[in-house]
Amino acid sequence: MAEDVFTTKSGTVRGRRAARDHGIVVVRGLPYAAPPFGALRFREPQPPDPWDGVRDCAAFGPVAPQSAELPGAPVWSPGDEDILTLNIWTPADGPGDLPVLVWIHGGAYVFGSSAQPDFDGTALAGEGLVVVTLNSRLGFEGFGHVPDGCDRAVFPDNRGLLDQIAALRWVRDNIAAFGGSPDRVTLAGQSSGATSVACLAVADRARGLFRRAVLHSAVNAFATQEQAARTTAEVAAEAGVPATRAGLLATPPEALVAATDRVCARYAQDPAAGQRHYDPAIYGPVADGVLLTADPLEALAVGAGGAVELLVCHTTEEYWLLDAVGSSAKITTEEQLAVFAADFGLPVSLVEGHRERLPDAPVPDVHLALHSGLLFAEYSARLAEAHARAGGRAFLARFDRRRDRTGRRVRAWHCADIPFAFGNLHEESVQFLVGGPPGEADEELSRRMTGAWAEFAAHGDPGWEPLDGSARSGGAVRVWRTAAEGPAGGAASGVRDGFRDLWRTAGLPLLAP
């Protein structure tokens, strides 16, 4: 690793020392596949072109087409095409053969990037890991169904997932040059990134590319080809183009991004729109019969996860974040709550049970508790339990830190756990998520969570017992909170365990984006 220069199969690259820790080398914006535009648009990812000389990898690569502008991260501009890149954090003087953690960001399959400050890998690399973060195609470019009877082998669904597989293959073929072991890869992600990880855990094409998986707040969303085709028709109509292969190929990415935003906005404004009114995310993995044949929960239940070991976590107040940032419909009356339940096919008993366990809560909080379980918490827990019942090794955790350093209540909501696990609590961009600057108790919790990820990636043991494969997870759940908030071990989250009992009785509908 002399002079922070590394040789890959495509060429030589130069990294930089991390600002926070000069013992860590960072390589940013390294292409793992060719730009997926022009003749390669809507196609499987292809290998990157090789280069001569030393490629300077000091800056993150362009983000995938999207309209989001996230704190501290670059924005996409039309014409940015070299979007299939990854970043590596590695100990400068590491012994080699280190465990590798590959991270897939969340963002409802339509926004986000590996350049977000939340995902800086310095602290995890300091724990003895080689950390890889990546960009992949999003929105229509990554998950839109290309119709017109075309050959699915030429214009496949799930292009975003195929990009992720291409990145994993790049890691297999090149990570040893950065001190990592291609045989000790853990794939990790949060929200849509966690569901992407779950999909790859059950996909034959990803078999053998990673041995462990970390899933934080996996999202309950999986489409049939018919549902994906209807979404394409809506987006094409909004863009004013034919919903055909030729029509879509002739439409620039920025037009499909804008059309997607308008379709989502229309659903958000229409209370009669059914499920999409409440959380208008319209893209996600597709049961294409090629890469994926079933929802990951169903696939794990019949043993499709094989020997992959799972570490699954969710937060205890997931959906409160989506409400706070205005990306969810407001449910303020009993009548609206009843319509919400009916639109998702939730039994009245489930609503009544939540109300009984939250006797003093207003209607919006009952809705948010229901939606948290429906979209994230219950689905995540069931992924771990299904894998364990099928004979796999799985660990389950909940993030329940709800006090800041002044004692003020903060939410254990969606995304709040990730800065703790990455060790990035001091980043300005995460202060809203975690309730302000961290105190010592938060720092200590972060060290425990970062250490659990590192130990799981290295040895398959995050520090507590795996699920035993029974119908109930019982005391095998790790509860993440500060020492002042109570013990970490055991099923110690009170009313939230009651929510689990309600869902076990009511069942969990599998949702489509």
What confidence tens digit (pLDDT) does each residue in 133-183 have? 999 999 999 999 998 665 667 899 999 999 999 999 999 999 999 999 999
Q: Would residue 334 count as lying in a domain?
A: no
pLDDT at position 363 over 80: yes
* For residues 334-347, average pLDDT: 97
Mean pLDDT over 188-206 rounds to 98
Can you give the pLDDT at residue 378? 97
pLDDT band at 87 (very low <50, low <70, confident <90, very high): very high
Say whether pLDDT at 270 is over 90: yes
The catalytic residue positions are 191, 318, 414
Q: What pLDDT is recorded for position 147?
A: 87
CA 354 vs. chain centroid, Å, equals 27
User: CA-CA distance, 111 to 327, in Å (whole number)?
Assistant: 13
Please, which pLDDT band fits residue 250 given cuts at 50, 70 and 90?
A: very high
pLDDT of residue 487: 72
In a domain, 104, yes or no: yes
Residue-wise pLDDT for 273-284, tens only, equals 999 999 889 999
Quick check: helix, strand or coil at residue 102?
strand
| Average pLDDT of span 101-119 | 97
- pLDDT value of residue 134: 98
Name the pLDDT band for 2 (thresholds 50, 70, 90).
very low
Q: Is residue 1 over pLDDT 50?
A: no
Q: Is residue 304 part of a domain?
A: no
16 vs 29: CA distance, rounded Å: 12
Tell me what pLDDT residue 490 has: 46
Could you tell me if residue 246 is inside a domain?
no
Model confidence at 472: pLDDT above 70: no
Whether 49 is in a domain gets the answer: yes
Q: Which residues contact 204 (CB under 8 A, 6 or more apart)?
A: none
The span from the CA of 195 to the CA of 338, in Å, is 28
The structural domain count of the chain equals 1
> CATH number, domain at 124?
3.40.50.1820
Map tokens 């053969």 to a residue: 97
As given in the structure block, the two tokens for residue 98 are 């280190």
Nearest to 479 by CA among 502, 468, 463, 456: 463
Kindly state whether residue 486 falls inside one of the protein's structural domains: no
User: Over the chain, what is the mean pLDDT?
Assistant: 94
Q: Which residue pairs from 322-328 have beta carbons closer than 8 angstroms and sit at least 24 positions apart in sequence?
A: 322/279, 322/371, 322/414, 323/364, 323/368, 324/411, 324/413, 327/279, 328/278, 328/279, 328/371
The pLDDT tens digits of the residues spanning 414-445 come to 999 999 999 999 999 999 999 999 999 999 99
> pTM above 0.75?
yes
- HSE-CB for 70 with a 13 A CA cutoff: 23
393 versus 494: the higher-pLDDT residue is 393
Place of tokens 């799985």: 394
pLDDT at 72: 87
Q: Which domain holds residue 111?
A: 2-219
Q: Could you give the CA distance from residue 317 to residue 336 in angstroms, rounded to a whole number?
A: 21
Strand-pairing partners, residue 98, are 180
101 dihedral zone (left: phi>0; alpha: psi -120 to 50; beta): beta
Q: Quick check: is 97 in a domain? A: yes
Cα distance between residue 419 and residue 415, in whole Å:
8
Residue 178 tokens read as 């950065």
Residue 94 within a domain: yes
pLDDT one-digit tens code per residue, 11-68: 999 999 999 999 999 999 999 999 999 999 999 999 999 999 999 999 999 999 999 9
Q: How confident is the model at residue 454 (pLDDT cuts 50, 70, 90)?
A: very high
Model confidence at 475, pLDDT cuts 50, 70, 90, reads low
Name the band, by pLDDT with cuts 50, 70 and 90, for residue 492. Answer: very low
DSSP strand E in 172-211: where?
180-190
